[in-house]
Amino acid sequence: MSDGTSPVGAQLVPSTSFHSMWRELLPIGRHPESRGYRRYAWTPADSACRAWFQEQAQVRGLTYEVDRNGNQWAWAGDPAQGDAVVTGSHLDSVPDGGAFDGPLGVVSAFAALDELRGRNTQFTRPLGIVNFGDEEGARFGLACVGSRLTAGRLTREQAHRLTDGDGITLPRAMEAAGHDPDAIGPDPERLSRIGAFVELHVEQGRALDLSGDRVGLASAIWPHGRWRFDFRGEANHAGTTRLADRRDPMLSYAETVLAARREAQLAGAVATFGKIAVEPNGVNAIPSLVRGWLDSRAPEQDTLDTVIEGIETAAREYAAAHGVDLDVTRESFTPVVEFDHALRDELARILGSETDLKVPVLGTGAGHDAGILSGTVPTAMLFVRNPTGVSHSPAEFATEDDCVAGVLALADVLEGLACR
Ligand SMILES: [Zn+2]
């Protein structure tokens, strides 16, 4: 079955199609000084990105819709037919984020469709392109809100309690952007019509750069979590309190930061204290409280458990040595996400890597909408090489040639899946 729409992109080779879209998207939400992106959910920058998506759908004659949770969809073929093949990613960003995290997957999706139309591909399954809303959680503090709601992993009541730094609730922000916040909730019927979801994403590390490959396949998303360490000591005068008389929680906190680095290094994991709160937070006061947030991720659950146990044991020793009390609270946890093995094998076969491993398979420490969906829908991910290895920063990068290689790989995958 043909997708039944006018092949507007048919004449475009992927590089032309990719680059004209990329150029259009590039200025939206870019901060003039930091040069980073501030495309936060339900803001004017986000609305501009969403308008761009709608326009891309319309110029290609695709059926455009916004679901109850504000995710945008563009369809070639009728999704009601079921067993759809869907690709896409997100257009929002972290504070001062890079240009590639998210948009690369959405732009590549449209460019891959243009490539397939150029090849005159006849689809036997509906093909969808999606932009998931509020993936980064930069504004309301929770990642993947659009896909979580759809997959039933976040309730309407929980979502309605989300509030941004200015005290604006998610429902108010949605309403201001023209979306009905009372409509949000699980969408199992929509997910049941999807037979495969493939998300293309810029790599957020240097594995492909080190292996010399343009494109890779995801094996799994590492288990990860956040822990809060509360070190409680005694506030006192920084000038008059003898060192021997102090109960200074900053010391045990500092030692714990070093222990986290050591434990992670030993285990082949990562551990980061990236946020800290100090009370009373005065230059001339010994702190009464140091609260540090630990983010840790590892390839396997056992490894992560060992790392956290090691850090906590060390922290308790340091706290005791300084007469400081310690409470450790696990604030969030996401178990390992194994992508669908059958789908991954199929992608490897399509990309010709079954025998010679032309496309490497790698794990990732970052969360994605694909990870949220993988509990319900067979899901796979493609990574495009990022020579800087940097992500969530304006230094995030992929070369033009690698982006086009990503588009072609995605086109091959969609052709292999949607034309069988
Ligand atoms: Zn992303």
C-alpha–C-alpha distance, residues 390 and 171, integer Å: 33
* Residue listed under structure tokens 């240097």: 206
User: With 90 as the cut, is the pLDDT of residue 10 above it?
Assistant: no
Contact of 37 with 30, CB cutoff 8 Å: yes
What's the average model confidence in pLDDT over 349-354?
77
Ligand 1 center–CA 231 separation, angstroms: 33
Ligand 1 center–CA 187 separation, angstroms: 22
b (16+ CB within 10 A) / e for 235-262:
bbeeeebeeeebbbbbbbbbbbbebbee
What's the average model confidence in pLDDT over 356-375?
81
C-alpha–C-alpha distance, residues 393 and 366, integer Å: 14
The model's confidence at residue 353, banded by pLDDT at 50, 70 and 90, is low
Structure confidence at residue 11 (pLDDT): 41
Contact of 341 with 196, CB cutoff 8 Å: no
C-alpha–C-alpha distance, residues 224 and 144, integer Å: 15
User: With 50 as the cut, is the pLDDT of residue 167 above it?
Assistant: yes
Which pTM value belongs to this model? Answer: 0.85
pLDDT tens string 243-277:
999 999 999 999 999 999 999 999 999 999 999 99
Ligand 1 center–CA 322 separation, angstroms: 42
Ligand 1 center–CA 139 separation, angstroms: 15
Ligand 1 center–CA 230 separation, angstroms: 31
C-alpha–C-alpha distance, residues 267 and 244, integer Å: 35
pLDDT tens string 289-340:
999 999 999 999 999 999 999 999 999 999 999 999 999 999 888 889 889 9
C-alpha–C-alpha distance, residues 378 and 88, integer Å: 14
For residue 301, the Cα-to-chain-centroid distance in whole angstroms is: 20
C-alpha–C-alpha distance, residues 420 and 195, integer Å: 13
Ligand 1 center–CA 274 separation, angstroms: 19
C-alpha–C-alpha distance, residues 196 and 189, integer Å: 15
Ligand 1 center–CA 93 separation, angstroms: 8
Task: Name the least confident of 7-11, 284-288, 393-397.
Answer: 7-11
Ligand 1 center–CA 89 separation, angstroms: 7
- Cα angle 187-189-195, degrees, rounded to a multiple of 5: 110
Ligand 1 center–CA 284 separation, angstroms: 42
C-alpha–C-alpha distance, residues 218 and 374, integer Å: 12
Ligand 1 center–CA 368 separation, angstroms: 6
Rg (CA), the chain: 23
Q: Find residue 232's DSSP bridge partners.
A: 289, 325
Ligand 1 center–CA 241 separation, angstroms: 49
- Cα angle 127-131-135, degrees, rounded to a multiple of 5: 140
Ligand 1 center–CA 325 separation, angstroms: 38
Ligand 1 center–CA 8 separation, angstroms: 28
Ligand 1 center–CA 15 separation, angstroms: 22
Ligand 1 center–CA 193 separation, angstroms: 24
What's the average model confidence in pLDDT over 82-101?
97
User: With 50 as the cut, is the pLDDT of residue 224 above it?
Assistant: yes
Structure confidence at residue 379 (pLDDT): 97
Ligand 1 center–CA 13 separation, angstroms: 26
Mean pLDDT of the chain: 93
Structure confidence at residue 366 (pLDDT): 86
Contact of 110 with 32, CB cutoff 8 Å: no
C-alpha–C-alpha distance, residues 143 and 290, integer Å: 26
Structure confidence at residue 367 (pLDDT): 87
- Cα angle 416-18-129, degrees, rounded to a multiple of 5: 50
Which amino acid belongs to residue 204?
Q
Task: Name the least confident of 5-14, 102-111, 389-398.
Answer: 5-14
* Residue listed under structure tokens 């310690």: 326
Structure confidence at residue 9 (pLDDT): 38
The model's confidence at residue 363, banded by pLDDT at 50, 70 and 90, is confident
The model's confidence at residue 13, banded by pLDDT at 50, 70 and 90, is low
pLDDT tens string 37-47:
999 999 999 99
C-alpha–C-alpha distance, residues 87 and 129, integer Å: 5
Ligand 1 center–CA 362 separation, angstroms: 16
C-alpha–C-alpha distance, residues 87 and 70, integer Å: 17
What ranges make up the beta strands (E) of 298-324?
none
Quick one: tokens of 61? Answer: 């004659």
Ligand 1 center–CA 4 separation, angstroms: 31
Ligand 1 center–CA 200 separation, angstroms: 9
Ligand 1 center–CA 360 separation, angstroms: 20
Which amino acid belongs to residue 134?
D
Contact of 213 with 100, CB cutoff 8 Å: no
Ligand 1 center–CA 135 separation, angstroms: 7
372: left (phi over 0), alpha (psi -120 to 50) or beta: alpha
